[in-house]
Structure 1
Amino acid sequence: MKALFIGGTGTISSAITKRLAEQGRELYLLNRGTRNGELPAGVKIIEADINDEKQVAKLIEGMRFDVVADFIAFVPSQLERDYRLFAGKTKQFMFISSASAYQTPLSDYRITEGTPLSNPYWEYSRNKIACEEFLIKQYREQGFPITIVRPSHTYDERSIPLGVHGSKGTWQVAKRMLENKPVIIHGDGTSLWTMTHNSDFAKGFIGLMGNIHAIGETVHITSDESVTWNQIYEVIADALGVKLNAVHVSSSFLDACSTEDYRGGLLGDKANTVVFDNSKLKRLVPDFVATVRLDQGLKRTVEHILAHPELQAEDPKFDAWCDKVIAALDAAVAAVNAE
């Protein structure tokens, strides 16, 4: 199999790249070369900015692929560019959409690929829906061989997956835990969430590559394990060797008093209970099973970050904001009790 990945070094794509390299597949990565230092041997690089369509067209002139996958397309114009570049050059075009495109709020917490797409809270999700609609139109009218993949919350060893954090990542939350400071959990922490280790995602994705039954299909790839946010934070605190000091705050309140995108990231995503039905994926990839249990995966992630100081990006602005929010809640409770 000869494959081309647009991107190939992100949280999701890096695990797929690694696994394909281990299998000896012929893999090309088209990217700007800024994160290629740790690529496995055998991976070929086409160094270019995908947004420079003329340059890319020259570089891939005469090339044909079994699979082309775009991991970094977010708006329809980028898919229109991909169609111009790869129509007639690939047997399968795979687009990474998002499970956040599913109906929000859900009418049924159990999500299948037939769940309606609608997210009034998050522009990111609405753009992904528009991307899907463009590709489906090309499949129906032009025979463009698409497969749409919807990941949910996928993580690796480089970042602790959390619900509420600042623009510089999630380390500051872990640092607050280590310092015995209270940490914010959105809502009451009892809503169910699904996190998928990128190595498990890679198994499902590779099973869809070159799969004739996946052409024209939309498939989500997630773990079958659902846990509460309280459990997620407890596991992280345990991995850090500290006791969790949690403060539960309404997602709507967090959105109202933050400059971060909590409207999209929380109200349009993580504040909602989600349980994924992976029956379709398992029909298409019969041997798929997610084997990294969340508590084990999170502990490995925490251990890796503790051993790599370069991954410990501090965020004083977010830290101060957390203190301010918690102080405001304490003041409100005191004011009500004083009446």
Structure 2
Amino acid sequence: MSARVLFLGGAGMIGSAVLAEAVTQGLRPTVVTRGEPSRPVPDDVEQLRFDVRDIEALRAAVTKRSYDAVVNWVGFTPADLAGQPELFAGITGQYTFISTCTVYARPVPHLPITESSPVAQPRFGYGNGKIACERLLTDAYQEAGLPLTIVRPFHTYDETTVPFPASWTTVERMRAGKPVVVHGDGTSLWTLMHSSDFARAFVPLLGNLHAVGETVNLVSGDILTWDQIYRGLAAAAGVREPQLRHRSSETIASQLPAWGDVLAEDFRHSMLFDTAKLRALVPGFAPRWSFSAGARAIVAYHDADPARRQFDAELDHAYDVLAARP
């Protein structure tokens, strides 16, 4: 009989790809969302409607059924997990928590990053919340028998998303021959993963007893400089020589304060990963998507519908100001 998997959340960009892959691989998923999912859910996936943070509603749903694995996509602070370790410790074979590689200390003391690299995020709120969740769940694994697997994705994208803060506005500017701003000198290293590759690596972890008690960096190993990322998207958009202007993270944040933390605590640092543990747990896994192919898919998706090509005039102005600075 195929495995039954309960997804707490998981109908967003990454989760929807995982749901589709789970069905393809013969699993029987049930997905819990508070409202209508933002992306289509396969017809043969059971959907339940309640807030997964409502522990009483969750307990009522679980006590009537059994699941071989549970995946929590929506734990961002310990409060989001209240009651879940106690609930699932004895009734599922695996509780998988979706964390993030943002938890790793910056700058990373040694590259490549492994699952045992130092964890610390003193300023970036998203990373701090995930660290606190990991600690709570690890205590439950060590003290109460919660069959825990922690999965840490990094920068995952699909055709609907442009993988830098400026979104589609950057592409429009490059097509118009206007300069766009890249943080630092454009040579820091970054790792991107297409959501369908994430799904193919993730689904084999479900019900995998070798993954219980483990933390797994689920990344592609596709290493690019930020200049290569911008140039790859420019090439997909038909721009041969984009005008890239390099500015410090602090200078960019002076015009775009909302970018301050993500640039200072994340994007400015080189991030590349050792994928040995992932390859050991999922033998034969290899990404199918290069970023050049992913960039073409992004451009094709946006060009197919003018409504998708959102242009931010305020951001456009900020780019002009930053590009004009020496």
For normalisation by structure 1, the TM-score amounts to: 0.91
Task: Name the residue aligned to 1:203.
Answer: 200
Is residue 232 of structure 2 the alignment partner of residue 235 of structure 1? yes
CA distance in 1, matches of 2:89, 2:310: 41
Paired position in structure 2 for 1:337: none
Letter in 2 for 1:250: S
Q: Give the one of 233, 250, 256 matched to 1:258.
A: 256
What do residues 216-238 of structure 1 show as CA deviations (whole Å, max 9, x unaligned)?
11000111221111111111111
Distance in 2 (alpha carbons) for counterparts of 1:309 and 1:89: 48
Q: Which moved more, 1:252-261 or 1:209-218?
A: 252-261
In structure 1, the partner of 2:68 is: 66
Match of 2:293 in 1: 296
2:216 aligned with 1:214: no
Greater CA drift, 44-53 or 230-239: 44-53
Q: Distance in 1 between the 2:281 and 2:39 partners?
A: 34
Residue 134 of structure 2 is matched in structure 1 by 132
Measure the CA separation in 1 of the matches of 2:88 and 2:36. 24
Deviates further, 133-142 or 114-123? 114-123
Structure 2 unaligned spans of 5+: none
Match of 1:336 in 2: none
- Matched with 2:102 is 100
C-alpha contact (below 8 Å) 1:159/1:305 kept by paired residues:
no
1:15-56 deviations in Å (ceiling 9; x for gaps): 110111223321000002322662222110011122333333
Superposition CA RMSD, Å:
1.6
Is the partner of 1:204 in helix, strand or coil? helix
* Cα distance between partner residues in 2 of 1:212 and 1:60: 21
Superimposed CA distance per residue, residues 199-231 of structure 1 (whole angstroms, 9 cap, x where no aligned partner): 111122112111111101100011122111111
**For the residues of structure 1 that align with 2:322 and 2:87, how far apart are their CA atoms?**
49
1:2 matched to which residue of 2? 4
Q: What count of residue pairs does the alignment treat as equivalent?
A: 323
Counterpart of 1:186?
A: 183
1:240-319 to structure 2, matched below 5 A, reads 240-242=237-239, 243-263=241-261, 265-319=262-316
Structure 1 equivalent of residue 40 of structure 2:
38
Indicate the residue corresponding to 1:142 in structure 2.
144
Moved >4 Å (runs of 4+): none
- 2:89–2:145 CA contact under 8 A, matched in 1: no
Contact 2:182–2:246 (Cα < 8 Å) also in 1: yes
- Once the two structures are superposed, residues 104-157 of structure 1 have per-residue CA deviations (whole angstroms, 9 ceiling, x without a partner) of 111113101110101233111111111111110000000100100000100011
Q: Aligned partners of 2:68 and 2:184: how far apart in 1?
A: 45
Percent identity over the alignment is 37
2:16, 2:39 within 8 Å by CA — same for their partners in 1? no
Aligned residue identity for 1:283: A
Which residue is equivalent to 1:29?
A: 31
Residue 119 (str. 1) matches residue 117 (str. 2): no
Moved more, 99-108 or 46-55: 46-55
1:82 counterpart residue number: 84
Q: Are the equivalent residues in 2 in contact too, given 1:120–1:268 (CA < 8 A)?
A: no
**Contact persistence 1:192–1:274 (CA under 8 A):** yes
Q: Is the 8 A contact 2:180 2:244 kept in 1?
A: yes
The whole-number CA distance in structure 1 between the counterparts of 2:16 and 2:84 is 21
Cα deviation digits, residues 230-266 of structure 1 (max 9, x gap): 1111111111112311111101222344220422x11
Distance 2:122 2:246 in 1: 25
Question: In 2, distance between residues paired with 1:28 and 1:237?
Answer: 40
Q: Distance in 2 between matches of 1:48 and 1:255?
A: 39
Give how far 1:196 is off: 0.5
Q: Could you list the runs of 5+ residues in structure 1 that have no partner in the other structure?
A: 334-339
Query: What is the DSSP-based 3-state SS (H/G/I as helix, E as strand, rest coil) of the residue aligned with 2:60?
Result: helix
